[in-house]
Amino acid sequence: MADAVDVAQEVNDLHLRASLAAARQPVAIGTPGECQKCGDDMPRLVGGLCGFCRDGRRR
Ligand SMILES: [Zn+2]
């Protein structure tokens, strides 16, 4: 029977594996230009969108 320490260790392992997998994702290089959504001139666009528009947040 699993006790709380076993469960905590298992959750910790899952979190570590997920974090490592996320950290291994390649980061898109991006290009400078005008954002297709907000129209601002930004130093780095990925898929034609600036970081604010990609993340759905306002500056
Ligand atoms: Zn934008």
| Residues forming beta bridges with residue 31, ordered by sequence position | 45
Q: Would you give per-residue pLDDT tens digits along the chain (59 residues)? A: 679 999 999 999 999 999 999 889 888 899 999 999 999 999 999 999 999 999 998 77
Secondary structure class of 43 (helix, strand, coil): strand
Q: Count other C-beta atoms under 10 Å from residue 53's C-beta.
A: 20
Measured CA to CA, the distance from residue 18 to residue 44 in angstroms comes to 27
Q: How much distance in Å is there from the Cα of 39 to the middle of ligand 1?
A: 6
At residue 1, the pLDDT reads: 65
Q: How much distance in Å is there from the Cα of 36 to the middle of ligand 1?
A: 7
- In 1-59, which ranges are continuous DSSP H helix? 4-23, 51-55
> Cβ contacts of residue 25 below 8 Å, gap of 6+?
none
